[in-house]
Amino acid sequence: MSTDREALGRFLTDNAVNETALALVRPACDLIAPFFIAAESGSLTLSPVAAIDETAEAIALASGAEIADIIPVSLSAVTEASSWLIRGSGQPAAETALWSRVARSLREAVDAAHWSVLQKRLPGWLAQELNETLAAAVWQDLQPILMARLPEYAALAYWDSFMITLGYVLIGDADGFHRMAPLLDKLSQNIPLGEKGGEPGTWLVLTA
């Protein structure tokens, strides 16, 4: 593995615009640490259903979405059920059925709540350098682990959440950072797939 925790910390420190930004670097690095561990170990260990209420609160805070209900879906159960394949599709039937039930993904909800604001305040050159630093430090090793088990939209929710949270660090926006921080914390434990089709406010979340 070629992860580099120090490189990410140095980048955030060197490009922090003020004291608030500097104060957010350590909490941000602590939030990212479990994903370095996952990239280095080759696996992401999920939490059981018991932690699901905190995940719902984190989704609501980061996205502004109203969460009426959470449907926990065991990743192990999906894997066990996926020995039957849809003929000609190459996709496990259980997984295809599950992914198709998502009407709005976590990535869509979080992006809508943050990117338009952040892009006005984070210089393009700095966003690009953050992109490159994050990719080299952890994403190049973490992405294959996520993509092996998740549809692309769910895996990329991690990337966007990293970029948004660290973008807030760079511009010294403590409020934005603290809106995203609980979600980033929970993404290392559970995987919110998105809002269930036909049931607004009901979210599907993968657990252990």
The DSSP secondary-structure symbol of 90 reads -
Supply the pTM of this predicted model.
0.88
Q: What is the pLDDT of residue 97?
A: 63
User: Do 191 and 34 form a contact (C-beta atoms < 8 A)?
Assistant: no
pLDDT in tens, 2-11: 899 999 999 9
Q: What is the pLDDT of residue 82?
A: 42
Q: Which amino acid is at 204?
A: L
pLDDT at 89 over 50: no
User: What would the two tokens of residue 38 be?
Assistant: 């996952």
The residues, any chain, with a CB within 8 Å of residue 151's CB and separated by 6 or more, are: 99
Mean pLDDT of 110-116: 95
Helix, strand or coil for residue 102?
Answer: strand
| Least confident stretch, 95-109, 154-168, 190-204 | 95-109
Residue of 126, 137, 138 whose CA lies nearest to 169: 126
Using alpha carbons only, give the angle 40, 157, 79 rounded to the nearest 5 degrees.
70
Q: What is the pLDDT of residue 100?
A: 76
pLDDT at 169 over 90: yes
Q: In what order do the strands lie in the sheet with 102-105?
A: 69-74, 202-207, 191-196, 102-105
What are the b/e assignments for 54-70, b being 16+ CB within 10 Å?
A: ebbebbbbbbebebeeb
pLDDT at 163 over 50: yes
| Least confident stretch, 20-29, 93-102, 196-205 | 93-102
Between these two residues, 53 and 58, which has the higher pLDDT value?
58
pLDDT at 92 over 80: no
CA distances from 102 to 3, 124, 175, 182 (A): 32, 32, 29, 22
